[in-house]
Amino acid sequence: MMSRLEQRPYGGTGEQVTVVGLGGVGLPRVSFADGVATVHRALELGITYLDTAPLYGHGVAQAILGEALVGRREPYLLATKLGHLAQPRRFRSPQALCTQFEENLRLLRRDSVDVLKVHEADLHCWWSDDPSDSRLLDPATEYDFANAPIIQVLQEEKAQGRCRFVGITGNTPDRLARILPAVEVDTCLTAFNYGVIHRGARRQLLPVARERGVAVILGGVFQQGRLVVVRPEWLHTPPSWMTPEVQSRVARLSALQQQSQLSLVALTLRYLVADPGIATILVGAATPAEIEASVAAVQAGPLPSDLHQAVEALGLP
């Protein structure tokens, strides 16, 4: 029988969450039915954090969660997001944002959620009406983060009881670290920047989040599935996203995986759970078997110290 999943503080909210959570991005990948079964299995295994967004499957992930959560009595926190609207001007429109939230709630079949987040808060169009040559926050531009329409909408929805907590998310930890001190949020999700190779979030974001008492959530720890299994062909013919430096580290990771006889999923999750600054690690599972494998990895505990140090040595500077 599997032991209970470790629970960690969800920032300064007073809530606790399991160290591994279910990310909604993978739920539509196989089928609607498999997505529902995956949510059910996650709850059965004791997972208490569920994260989704309108972007995932163009709403299908939210519909899967809406179906899967009907009648369930297990404890959980449910998080969704606002963002990825059709036109940049809508990112600055309270009416457009509230309309999107209404659609989120309709698909999720509920009147409120536990957490409402800004999807990719590191985009320029959230914080300024002026066009920019850069899609992301411009280092040379001064932004009024605290009074942006999205922050006003989050705080109003929280005041009305339609969400309990609010947060930001993004893919560039240095930009998230710039936003965090200027806004009142409970949580910050950083994607693609903390795993077996990438460490930017640990260096640039976690210290700021800790100072602010903000819960840190990790996403994209397998780099959108690129680092779920070893692909020997990549070591000889690297894909375009793999820089020479990443290729070198992936080769070393492949050798380490073979020596340890652990899966890359287990290596990654067991490496990350050793960091107490992380509240929960999202896994984008699409089938019950995938979420079972992730839970089993986490329940095995952190890596032995020598193996942990070997993985630590793979990190990009």
Angstrom distance (rounded) from CA 161 to CA 90:
24
Q: Which domain holds residue 114?
A: 14-312
pLDDT in the model for residue 1: 46
Whether 277 is in a domain gets the answer yes
Whether 177 is in a domain gets the answer yes
Angstrom distance (rounded) from CA 190 to CA 307:
25
Which of 239, 287, 228 has the alpha carbon at shortest distance from 36?
Answer: 287
What's the per-residue H, E or C state across the chain? CCCCCCEEECCCCCCEEECEEEEHHHCCCCCHHHHHHHHHHHHHCCCCEEECCCCHHHHHHHHHHHHHCCCCCCCCEEEEEECCCCCHHHHHCHHHHHHHHHHHHHHHCCCCEEEEEECCCCEHHHCCCCCCCCCECCCCCCCCHHHCHHHHHHHHHHHCCCEEEEEEEECCHHHHHHHHHHCCCCEEEEECCCCCCCCHHHHHCHHHHHHHCCEEEEECCCCCCCCCCCCHHHHHCCCCCCCHHHHHHHHHHHHHHHHHCCCHHHHHHHHHCCCCCCCEEEECCCCHHHHHHHHHHHHCCCCCHHHHHHHHCCCCC
Whether 93 is in a domain gets the answer yes
Whether 31 is in a domain gets the answer yes
pLDDT in the model for residue 216: 98
Whether 1 is in a domain gets the answer no
Which of 193, 224, 174, 195 has the alpha carbon at shortest distance from 314?
Answer: 195
- Give the length of the chain: 317
pLDDT in the model for residue 230: 82
DSSP string, 120-163: TTTBGGGT-SS--S-SBPPTT----GGGSHHHHHHHHHHHTTSE
The per-residue pLDDT string of the chain (317 residues; one tens digit each, 9 = 90 and over) reads 457 899 999 999 999 999 999 999 999 999 999 999 999 999 999 999 999 999 999 999 999 999 999 999 999 999 999 999 999 999 999 999 999 999 999 999 999 999 999 999 999 999 999 988 889 999 999 999 999 999 999 999 999 999 999 999 999 999 999 999 999 999 999 999 999 999 999 999 999 999 999 999 999 999 999 999 988 898 889 999 999 999 999 999 999 999 999 999 999 999 999 999 999 999 999 999 999 999 999 999 999 999 999 999 999 87
Whether 61 is in a domain gets the answer yes
Whether 158 is in a domain gets the answer yes
Whether 227 is in a domain gets the answer yes
User: Which CATH number characterizes residue 188's domain?
Assistant: 3.20.20.100
Number of domains present in the structure of the chain: 1
pLDDT in the model for residue 2: 57
